[in-house]
Every structure is written in C-alpha cells, then in structure tokens.
A and B are shown apart, each in its own frame.
Chain A
C-alpha cells in the first residue's frame, strides 16, 4: 500500500537552475510532511518539513509547497548546486502518530 508516491525516479538539472521534486499522497489523515536527502552509503538526513496548517515553508534555498486539496507537495531547490545531487525522499505522518511513510525517492543530479 504505497501511501506516499514519488513518480519521478530521477531528475537532472543544470547548476544554478531550479530543481522541483514532486510527491503525492493518498491518506488524507496525513498532516505532517517532510523531505529527507540521502547520499550513497549514508542514512537519510532531514531537510525540511511542513505541517498541514501551512502551504509553504522556506529554508534558505529550499522551499516546500503543500497543496492539501490535491494531496500534493513539492520541494523547490533554487539555485541548484552540484552538492545537491542525492536521492530525495518525501515522507508523511499523521497527527498523534509517529508512524512515518516514505516515497520511493527521486534521484537528483545537478550538472555543473
């Protein structure tokens, strides 16, 4: 039961341009969403989060947008840098529940 979906397995962008990573979810009970970044042979590291009471959260070059009606969120990275090349996982959880579900990940490659 894939409750969190990242339909693009990979994305390639040029350095300096915007990277947009997308995520869809099916469980309307989810109300907290996160993005994690993962380098090869390392554990995922927390990047940015957003709760369902907001539709946008910004942290430096990273912005997460949430569209509750569409059950869709996206991560924008601008400007993209080669060091951003990694696998990005979208995750979602429910109020009062620590169970967190992850998407399959999107491999971002930022070309110099």
Chain B
C-alpha cells in the first residue's frame, strides 16, 4: 500500500490522558501536513512539516499540541491532557516536494479521536 498511512484509525482517551497519532507519508514524500476536522466542520490546517523541521504551525493550538517529523519514522501528532473538545478526525497528508506551484497533497484515511 503506497498511500498515506495513519494509525490508529480510532482512538479513545479519557480526559487528561495523552493521544499520539502517527502518520507515514507516501513513499518518496518528504512533506507532511496535519489537518483537523471537528464534527460538522471543514478541514482546518494545523501544521506543515518537513523532515526534522516544522515549517508552519500557525494552525496548532498554543498549548497541549505538538508535532514532529523525525529523520527516521513516522510523523507524530501529540495531544497532551486531552479534553472533550479535542474529539475530532485528524487527517494527515503528504506531498513530494516543495518550492513548486501545483503540488497536490494526498490524504490518509484519518484518525478519529474520541475523548470520554
């Protein structure tokens, strides 16, 4: 499967716990994006990363949320001390290169976080 892989697909956490969502980009892609979709809302940009670098995190909440894309391994979106309002679908996307117009980003199937 050469697509963007996200896991877990579904995650249930109690308030105050930590959630870790993983994303492996498509083969050959070095750019990763995280988006969040709250119930009945559209896709909200969270963060854009390249290997070992955060390029744009303007959509990330200031507290409790962090993202990384290490040299080896998947990108991780980490949410500490989850609250009910964090319940959402989190989508990862990847693209092959930067600096050129016309890049299409390809999405994974999403990770659904439910905070109880």
Contact = CB atoms under 8 A, between A and B. Distances in A.
A69 interface: no
A42 interface: yes
Given A102-B43, A105-B43, A96 B101 contact: yes
Contacts, number: 67
B100 interface: yes
A96 B91 CA distance: 23
B110 interface: yes
Interface residues of A, number: 26
Contacts of A94: 101
B95 to A, nearest CB: 6
Interface residues on B, range: 20 to 34
A104 B31 CA distance: 23
B26 to A, nearest CB: 12
Nearest to A50: B102
A43 B35 CA distance: 11
B109 A42 contact: yes
A65 to B, nearest CB: 18
Contacts of A101: 45
Given A42-B110, A43-B91, A100 B45 contact: yes
Contacts of A43: 4, 6, 91, 93, 107-110
Nearest to A90: B42
Contact of A31 (B101, B106, B109): B101
Interface in A15-48: 31-32, 34, 36, 41-46
A34 B101 CA distance: 12
B42 A6 contact: yes
Nearest to A94: B101
- Central interface residue in A42, A93, A98, by most chain B CB within 10 Å: A98
Contacts of B99: 96
